[in-house]
Structure 1
């Protein structure tokens, strides 16, 4: 249509027509035009072309349109052969005579030119608003601009719905960094713009640049994103779930040894724990906090006799430890931070823990957390996890954690092993550790403190004196 605009702009105006007419009349008066009809026609030709430029141009376009329609209906392409060759030359392409590619190109060129010519004829009548009707040249329909779906808001709503349903006992603290990492990688906050290709590329960065383990990428990062996007799709926040099939294969883990501490390893670790004395720096200043020192003294021993997760121990508060008669009891509760199983559980404390002075330590402590310094309950879980991580690093630095054993889980595996060796009731051990029953039948009946105390009392003391 730009060519049509240019052609119309070049049509002769009234001044041009008058000028050409005056020139013709001057030639006639000067006797420059012969008396025969042929000479008069030749002399008048330039004037006629200027005067009738619009109608001549229209007639040419009408003839071209008729020829194109005729050939298109007959399946012929003679009218556009030169145009095809010119197009192929300009783009460095080839299409053999009679080939399917050349036929398709001819077809589309003819349809496009027919549309253009129809619009030019409409303009001759003063209608400049005509729109193409053939899909070959018809502009795509305008799509409604959709409101962005913010990833950050999507995560907040997903988290709140899961918490309301009784899940995410840690309030999503483990998953929130995943969503922050994804937004930072994408450099935008619109879930509508996220593609499967984006998530695959993000996965590759986690593996190759961030050097995360395949299990971490699979079980934490991709699992979180799949859950959020699945929730968004199910709740009609997104039209599809682009994360559904994005996964990371994990190597099958092979154990080169037992998962729990052996007797010798457990004794060496507990002796080091009980003997720990924080060292001052070169200026005589002790940087280690009293909470961390207490955690190094007591957390391994508490883990050894309760099978609790280290973070469940490091979140214990003074008010979570109570004495009933001559029995001391620890309550592991989400009120103090995070409990993977969800609800609270009471665990009687072993006699050796009390004999070594844990009861007196609790009585002397100020109300609140025993092993970390957080004062806001909202920060308890994160502070307890931080202490748990530091304990693991400390034990590894002492070369007391053998390869293949996770310091925060070695005690849980060991307690199960001890229970099997002693013939203790595994259902009671499961209840102490916060594990659910293996069958529906095992969930009937309550595991009481009396039952737990009987199992705890059956566990032997550790030889901690040299």
Structure 2
């Protein structure tokens, strides 16, 4: 956890608390308290996990005190810090006007006896509602109250702008409706409610709702997925996404997140990222987590549901997999690879990296596996099953996109090239990256996978338009179809999910996979 977050963690004799100091000027609005605390229990790890959500709740209390201070004229608030829609501001103004009317009736009988309503003022309000009043006339009518809501941080609308005029007309509706209630009350009817759709359909401001920490939502979503064996990659892939989002909107409260926030964020991301990355990674991550939050009653609405980004159609000028000639060139380079000689041992290539460059392309070619599934292999993942030499791809070694393990028979040419001799001569543990207890296996496997890719690209044996590693998956499927192998069997070997519910019935046995693998032709190396 970043040091900044630790400043809110308090340890008192083995009991942990989230702590937030109350600014001196806000203490009168929080019962004179100098700090706020929330108990987090005695387990430090659990306390740290709960810290962000607890701090968000405390910050919400500080924000409410800040607003009460601003309403009392004691404190200025940054413009737009607590934004409300025009209808919400109008609704708040409506209730405040009627509250004032109630106070006056309770404190001064002459007020109620007069029953006076300024008809000229009412006509000016009607002109404002209709859009017939100019900005100067609107300012004279309700400009002082718009400025008050600006000081409270509910709007940043500037005089003369379209947004200011929209708010001014909404305030005219609010005043007109409140005066209608005043007239009704003068006749003894206190049951009236606003009839104008702007107020009748307005969603009350969510000021008193406790905040929902975006960071905590992500953590809880991932934990929920991991319980059922999913979400292994979500933390690594989505962590930076939500860090970026929180930085862009300036807070961590999902309750305050708006569709406009996300649209602005999306447009900013497009300045540096491709539309596909924005659509498939950034927006998809936010939409998924918020959808989970709604389904689990953590939020009432998913504001990201309609925020999309169109992705340009990809124009392909060639096949995505290697051709036979291209595949042969890559495999020849791989089998002939020798690391550069270095006098300084520190600069020498790790033997595991050398092994990855020699064997990873070969294994990809004959299994159609993902490169990281190959580079995460351990010695214990290679075994004999009767007469069949088997490679097990398992999440226990790092990660598997489909979630479960799968056994893949080794092609005869892989065996003839001496792969089992290499495995038997290797120490226990990972085959293609150094075995370090303090290093994440996934990181080690991905690091060496990247080095293999960079090396092949530098050799210029990988054509433009083909992924140095993923090109093997395309080729494996293409060759399998040419050899008449069913897609169901190819998918089982490659780790692709079945296309229909029927594909999940029955098993593709090791014998079936072995017969399929043996039908793949050899390469002339």
TM-score, structure 1 as length reference: 0.69
Per-residue deviation at 1:393?
A: 2.1
Distance 2:253 2:122 in 1: 49
Change (3 A) 1:247 1:429: same
Tell me if 1:379 matches 2:416. Answer: no
Retained in 2: the 8 A contact 1:265–1:400? yes
Larger radius of gyration: 1
SS class of match (1:381): helix
Deviation digits for residues 252-295 of structure 1, max 9, x if unmatched? 22321111100110011111111222224585753422222111
Select 1:149's aligned residue among 209, 212, 233.
Answer: 212
Inter-partner Cα distance in structure 2 for 1:170 and 1:453: 31
Mapped contact 1:278–1:286 kept (Cα < 8 A): no
> C-alpha displacement at 1:335, in angstroms?
0.7
| Structure 2 residue aligned with 1:416 | 477
Distance 1:251 1:240, change over 3 A: same
Q: 1:449 to 1:271 in 2, by over 3 A?
A: same
Change (3 A) 1:142 1:283: closer
Instruction: Go from structure 1 to structure 2 and tell me whether the alpha carbon gap of 1:88 and 1:284 turns closer, same or farther (over 3 Å shift).
Output: same
Q: Report 1:169-188 matches (<5 A).
A: 169-170=232-233, 172-188=235-251
SS at match of 1:157: helix
Question: How much has 1:383 moved relative to structure 2?
Answer: 2.3
Corresponding residue to 1:406 among 453, 462, 467 = 467
- After TM superposition, the structure 1 = structure 2 runs for residues 228-247 of structure 1, keeping only pairs within 5 Å, are 228-247=289-308
Matched residue, 1:160: 223
User: What displacement does 1:174 show?
Assistant: 2.2
Tell me, yes or no, if the aligned pair for 1:336 and 1:380 is still in contact at 8 Å. Answer: yes
Deviation at 1:73, TM superposition (A): 10
TM-superposed deviation, 1:334: 0.8
Deviation larger for 176-185 or 194-203 = 176-185
Does the CA contact (< 8 Å) of 1:273 and 1:296 recur in 2?
yes
Number of residue equivalences:
366
Pair 1:437–1:253, CA change in 2 (3 A): same
Q: Distance in 2 between matches of 1:366 and 1:276?
A: 21
Identify if the C-alpha distance between structure 1 residues 74 and 371 changes in structure 2 by more than 3 Å, giving closer, same or farther. closer
**What is the CA-CA distance between 1:235 and the residue it aligns to?**
1.3
TM-score by structure 2 length? 0.62
Q: 1:281/1:146 Cα in 2 relative to 1: closer, same or farther (>3 Å)?
A: farther
Judging changes above 3 Å, is the alpha-carbon distance between structure 1 residues 107 and 452 closer, same or farther for their aligned structure 2 residues? closer
Deviation at 1:445, TM superposition (A): 2.5
1:90 to 1:181, Cα distance in 2 relative to 1, 3 A:
closer
Alpha-carbon distance in structure 1 between the residues aligned to 2:445 and 2:416? 25
- Asked if 1:337 is matched to 2:398, the reply is yes
Aligned equivalents of 1:284, 1:380: Cα separation in 2: 24
Specify which of 442, 446, 449 is matched with residue 388 of structure 1.
449
Preserved contact between residue 72 and residue 107 of structure 1 (Cα < 8 Å): no
CA shift digits 1:326-368 (9 cap, x unpaired) = 4321000111111111111100111121222211111111211
- Which blocks of at least 5 consecutive residues in structure 1 are unaligned? 1-61, 78-83, 95-100, 116-132, 136-140
Could you tell me how far 1:217 is from its partner in structure 2?
A: 1.4
1:220 aligns with 2:281: yes
Equivalent of residue 371 in structure 2, options 294, 297, 310: 310
Q: CA deviation at 1:215?
A: 1.4
Deviations 1:70-114 (A, max 9, x none): x6499889xxxxxx99x74986999xxxxxx99x979969x88xx
| Matching residue of 1:451 | 512
- Compute the displacement of 1:163 (Å): 1.6
Q: What secondary structure is seen at the aligned counterpart in 1 of 2:518?
A: helix
Say whether the 8 Å CA contact 1:179–1:225 is kept in structure 2: yes
Change (3 A) 1:283 1:454: same
CA contact (8 A) 1:280 1:286 kept: no
Q: Which stretch of the first structure deviates more once superposed, 166-175 or 299-308?
A: 166-175
Alignment of 1:61-460 (within 5 A): 68-69=116-117, 72=119, 88=137, 145-170=208-233, 172-208=235-271, 211-280=272-341, 286-376=347-437, 379-460=440-521
Partner SS, residue 391 of structure 2: strand
The verdict on how the C-alpha distance between 1:192 and 1:256 changes in structure 2, with shifts beyond 3 A counting, is same
**Alignment match, 1:44:** none
Distance 1:378 1:151, change over 3 A: farther
Shift, 1:426, TM fit: 2.7
- 2:401 is paired with a residue of what secondary structure? coil
Shift in alpha-carbon separation, 1:156–1:73, aligned structure 2, 3 A: same
Q: Find the aligned partners of 1:400 and 1:218 in 2 and give their Cα distance.
A: 32
Contact 1:163 1:171 in 2 (8 A): no
Unaligned runs of 5+ in 2: 1-109, 125-132, 144-158, 161-167, 183-191, 195-203
Root-mean-square deviation (CA), in Å? 3.9
Seen in structure 2, the aligned counterparts of structure 1 residues 154 and 463 have a Cα distance that, compared at 3 Å, is same
The whole-number CA distance in structure 2 between the counterparts of 1:400 and 1:189 is 47
